[in-house]
Structure 1
Amino acid sequence: MEGRSIDVKGNKLYIEYENAFENKPTIVFLHDSLGCTQLWRDFPAKLGSALACNVLVYDRLGYGKSGVMTTHERAVNYMELEADLLNDLLCTLNVQDAVLFGHSDGGTIALIAASKYQENIQAVMCEAGHIFVEDITVKGVRDALEAYNTTNLGERLQKYHGDKVEMLFRAWTEIWLSEKFRNWNIEYLLKDITCPLLFIQGENDEYGTLDQLEKTLAQVSGISEQYIIPEIGHTPHKEVPELVLKRSIEFLQRQFNS
C-alpha cells in the first residue's frame, strides 16, 4: 500500500489506504502505545486480502511518519480524544463502514470509538485493550521505562519514529505512571457498544489480566466473543500471527454473512 500524509482537523496524519473493493468494509488498524504503521508489517494486508476488504492503517499524531505532538503532557482522557480524531479521519476519507482492529492503546481507542460513533463502525477486534488501570499494567510500563533508560530500546524505536521517540515515550509513561490516571476507567461506555466484538488476549499478557477481557464482554450490548491464547503475551498478532488471522477471519466472515 502506498502511503501519504493528510490533514485531519489541523493534524498531519500519515496513512496507508487501500480502497480497491467497492461496497466492502474498510478494516482500520490502530497501533499500540509505541507502535506505528510500519510495525504492523504484513498483518493488515493479509487480513484485508483474505476477506477482500479495504484496509486503512495510520500513525497517530506523534508516531511514525505523522506530525509531532505539541507536548508530551497528556490529558487523562487522551484515548477518548484519539477516538474522536479517528472519527474525524474516517469522515475525511468518507469511510462509513469501518471494522476496527486495535492493539493495546489502539484496542481501547477502538472500544471508545465503537461506543461513541456506532453509525460508522460495523465490528471491533480488540487485542489486549484496557478499560481500567491495573497494577500489572503500571509494572509493565515501569519495566519498559527501565529498559528505555538502560538498554538501546530508544535507538531501536528511532528506526520507526525518528526524532519523535523521546516525546512519545514520555507521553506514554508519564500519564500511565501518574496518580491522576490511576482512576481512569471507560466501563461506563461499554453498554453503548452494539456492534459485534472479538476480544483477543494472551493468557500471559504482561500489561493486563483477563479481567480486562471478562469485564468488557460482560458489559457490551452487542454480540461478543473471546479468544484467549495460552502461553502468549501482550502482542498476539506478532507472537502467533497465523492464529490471530485465522480467528479474525472467521469472526468477520460470520458478521459479513449474517
Structure 2
Amino acid sequence: MSQSLPQLPSIQRVFLESIASSDPEGRFIEVDGILTFYKLVIPQKHQQLLQQNQLIPNEPNKPVILLLHHILGNQYTWRNIMQRLADYTDCNVIAYDRPTFGFTERPTHWEEGKNPYTQEASVDFARQVISALGYEDKKISFVGVSAGGSISCSFAIKYPNLVHSLCLLAPSIMPEDQGPPPIGRHILGSAPGRLFLKAALYRYLPLTSLYHDCNSIPDWETVVKPNYRIPLTLPNFYESLSWLMKHFIPLDILPYKSYLAQLPILYISGDDDKYTHVDKHREIYAEIASVAPPGAKMDFKILSNCGHLPQDESPDEVIRHIVDFLKRVGI
C-alpha cells in the first residue's frame, strides 16, 4: 500500500520564515490558511512570573490590545510602544503584519468570494487573528494608525460587542467616493502598474511625506528605513500590493457613526499630517462626536511637530495619551 508523501511548504513560506528568523520576538501562526507573522508581548511582571515557573494571574476583565498598522507599514511600526503599553495597562498586546505587508504570506490564489486583499477581508482577518491566538473570549482595545484606524472602526461597527475601545491615530476615514478612482485601481492592478509600484517604492519607501521630519527619528537611515524596506525584497510583495490597489475601496464608516459613538474613542492627529489635514481630522471627529450619547468617553488630541504616523514620530506622547485614556475609561 503506497503512502502519500507529506506536503512540502511553499517556497514563499520557507523564504519568509528564514528572513523573519532574524527577529527572535516574532512568531508565525496560520490564520485562514495564511501564514501570519505576529508579535505578542505581556507585562514585564508576568514575564518574571514565567521565569519563576509561577502561574500568571487570571485577569478576566482585561481586554487584549490589538495594534493595526498602516498601508506600506508592518508591525515594526509599533516597536516603541508595544512593551510599554503592556506594562502600563497590564494587558497583553498583539501586533501582526496584515496580508501584503511585512513577513505575512501573500496568497496567489483564493476561493471565489475570499479575496484576502480587500478592506472588508482585513476586518474579518483581525477577528480570526484574535481567535487563532486564543483571545476570542476577550474584548479588544484597538490601536490603529491610518488604514489600521479605519479597519478598527469597521470592526467596531460589525462586531460592537467585541470591542472595548478605539484609539485612532490619524485614521483614514473618508467617504467611499473619495477613494482611488476605478481607472486608477485598474492601472495599479495591471502588469504595467506593478512595474510602476516597483520603481516608485524601491526609490521612495518609506514615504517621507508621511512625516513631519523623518530625520528627527533616531536611527532613521541605519535601522528604521531598512526595516520598512525589507518587505520589498520578499516573494509576491508587488503582486499582492497590486491586487490590494486593484480591489481597494475605502470602508464605509461615517454613515455608521452612531455605532462608533457608543464606544470610548481616543482620536489623535499630528498638526502636520500631509496625508489628511488636521482640520479634516477635526471634522471627522466632530461628526462622530455629534451623535454621541451624554457622558460619552471621547477625546481628541493634536500632537505638535508630527505627521501622519504619530507612533513613529511621537511615541512618548502617543503612549501617554493612550494610557491616560484607557485608564480613564476603566481598563
| TM exceeding 0.5 | yes
The residue aligned with 1:105 is 147
AA matched with 2:154: I
Match of 1:206 among 274, 294, 301: 274
The residue aligned with 2:54 is none
Q: Does 1:10 align with 2:33?
A: yes
List alignment gaps of at least 5 residues for structure 1.
Answer: none
Q: Is the 8 A contact 1:145 1:173 kept in 2?
A: no
The residue aligned with 2:104 is 66
Q: How far apart, in 1, do the equivalents of 2:124 and 2:177 lie?
A: 28
Mapping for residues 155-166 of structure 1, pairs under 5 Å: 156=226, 157-160=228-231, 162-166=234-238
The residue aligned with 1:250 is 324
Q: How many residues end up aligned between the 2 structures?
A: 247
Mapping for residues 138-149 of structure 1, pairs under 5 Å: 148=200
Shift of 1:152: 5.5
Cα displacement string for residues 71-111 of structure 1 (whole angstroms, at most 9, x for unaligned residues):
7xx98x93232111111222232242211000111011011
Cα displacement string for residues 150-197 of structure 1 (whole angstroms, at most 9, x for unaligned residues):
726389544245234323543455556xxxx5x864212222122201
Taking structure 2 as the reference length, the TM-score comes to: 0.64
Shift of 1:136: 10
Q: Partner of 1:191: helix, strand, or coil?
A: helix
Q: Is the 8 A contact 2:120 2:251 kept in 1?
A: no
Q: Partner of 1:53: helix, strand, or coil?
A: coil
1:219–1:59 distance in 2 versus 1, CA, 3 Å = same
1:184–1:42 distance in 2 versus 1, CA, 3 Å = closer
Greater mean alpha carbon deviation, residues 7-16 or residues 213-222: 213-222
AA matched with 1:117: Y
1:135–1:200 distance in 2 versus 1, CA, 3 Å = farther
Match of 2:67 among 29, 37, 43: 29
Q: Is the 8 A contact 1:190 1:216 kept in 2?
A: no
The residue aligned with 1:94 is 135
AA matched with 2:36: L
Q: Partner of 1:151: helix, strand, or coil?
A: helix
The residue aligned with 1:45 is 83
Q: How far apart, in 2, do the equivalents of 1:114 and 1:245 lie?
A: 22
Q: Is the 8 A contact 2:77 2:311 kept in 1?
A: no
Greater mean alpha carbon deviation, residues 190-199 or residues 166-175: 166-175
AA matched with 2:307: G
Greater Rg over alpha carbons, structure: 2
List alignment gaps of at least 5 residues for structure 2.
Answer: 1-23, 47-56, 181-187, 189-195, 207-224
Shift of 1:35: 1.1
Taking structure 1 as the reference length, the TM-score comes to: 0.80
AA matched with 2:118: Y
Shift of 1:126: 0.7
Q: How far apart, in 2, do the equivalents of 1:117 and 1:252 lie?
A: 20
Alignment root-mean-square deviation, CA: 3.4
Shift of 1:242: 0.9
Q: Is the 8 A contact 2:34 2:106 kept in 1?
A: no
Q: Partner of 2:165: helix, strand, or coil?
A: strand
Cα displacement string for residues 204-243 of structure 1 (whole angstroms, at most 9, x for unaligned residues):
2111123244324422645321111233211111111111
Q: How far apart, in 2, do the equivalents of 1:130 and 1:39 lie?
A: 17
Q: Is the 8 A contact 1:7 1:13 kept in 2?
A: yes
